[in-house]
Structure 1
């Protein structure tokens, strides 16, 4: 189940958010790494391979992700002993590739959905995630979004501005 928590205007960066919602990712928790199937995009695979890993070490070619009939990617492998992501250190509960982790890991527990010039942000209300509405959590503000997801927002923002400019040029021809 997912719940709306914010909307960001990709042109003005104005944020409208649920003031009651807060989030704090708890260090060394690792529950999402243990309980979720993580999809890998081609870019994720390339970035991890650049660290010296072979795709066969971390890509589960038997688990496929689809949206409708569109193939999205494969899943990240699970450790056969712990059943957690192969990159989760079982002792420290830290990700071995944290700065290069897949986009799905980076976004979790959030889901970004673009609608024209707006990006809606939902939270996956997984009962096992202790960071959702944590008492020390932060509200979803422009500052929070830009600190955590600024590069992603800027990438979509560039596309929206490019599409708008293209439409204006075509309209004036």
Structure 2
């Protein structure tokens, strides 16, 4: 199943919580809402292609609302970072319920030319300092990766249905209403 260890140790610099845009899966949103009791409208936002780097312009997760592309993300501010970053402790306030993307960060999946899983390495295109003074067992990340893949298929299906009905004046928040309805009905 590929390499099972990577030289890495998190030093809790909070880069991932301050500077990385987190794109949650439907099940991430449900888990966060159930854990925190917060309405997803309070912790999600919609970003345009100019506000996100590293997401291809043709990615199927882009929402069309009023003729413009948007991507659903955890709400964040330039000063504070992620909505769930605890300002007092500097740690994630929803650590046990955090999104899959946060659980995988800063690791990058490596695949063979045939698309088969090869292992994980540290992602080179992210701002994480990537301290290498520890050894991290990436074995459990494979299950998260499979989970993430499955959930992205669910999300892409919802986005595709939403995008087919685009019209002038439509707001991306309408997707969130549909999204909540679909996820809650399960």
TM-score normalised to the size of structure 2? 0.58
- Residue 134 (structure 1) aligns with: 132
- Asked whether the equivalents of residues 110 and 124 of structure 1 are also in contact (C-alpha less than 8 Å), the reply is yes
The 3 A distance-change label for structure 1 pair 44 and 154 is closer
Aligned-pair CA distance for 1:155: 5.6
- Residue 184 (structure 2) aligns with: none
State the Cα deviation string for residues 45-85 of structure 1 (Å, max 9, x = none).
Answer: 111111111101110124577552401651110146x2400
Q: The residue matched to 1:149 in structure 2 has which SS?
A: helix
Larger Rg: 1
Q: Does 1:75 align with 2:68?
A: no
- Residue 123 (structure 1) aligns with: 122
TM-score normalised to the size of structure 1? 0.62
State the Cα deviation string for residues 11-36 of structure 1 (Å, max 9, x = none).
Answer: xxxx347x8x5111124x21111111
Mapped to 1, the partners of 2:46 and 2:18 lie a distance apart of 19
Q: Report the RMSD for the aligned CA atoms in angstroms.
A: 3.0
- Asked whether the equivalents of residues 63 and 75 of structure 1 are also in contact (C-alpha less than 8 Å), the reply is no
Aligned-pair CA distance for 1:98: 0.2
- Residue 152 (structure 1) aligns with: 144
**Matched ranges for 1:1-173 at <5 A:** 9=1, 15-16=2-3, 22-27=7-12, 29-51=13-35, 52-63=37-48, 67=56, 68-71=58-61, 74-79=72-77, 82-112=79-109, 115-125=114-124, 128-130=127-129, 132-135=130-133, 137-138=134-135, 144-146=137-139, 148-149=140-141, 151-152=143-144
Of Structure 1 and Structure 2, which has the larger fraction of its residues in strand?
1
The 3 A distance-change label for structure 1 pair 133 and 151 is same
- Asked whether the equivalents of residues 111 and 121 of structure 1 are also in contact (C-alpha less than 8 Å), the reply is yes
Mapped to 2, the partners of 1:128 and 1:117 lie a distance apart of 27
Q: For structure 2, which runs of at least 5 residues remain unmatched after alignment?
A: 63-70, 149-186
Q: For structure 1, which runs of at least 5 residues remain unmatched after alignment?
A: 1-8, 10-14, 157-173
Of Structure 1 and Structure 2, which has the larger fraction of its residues in helix?
2
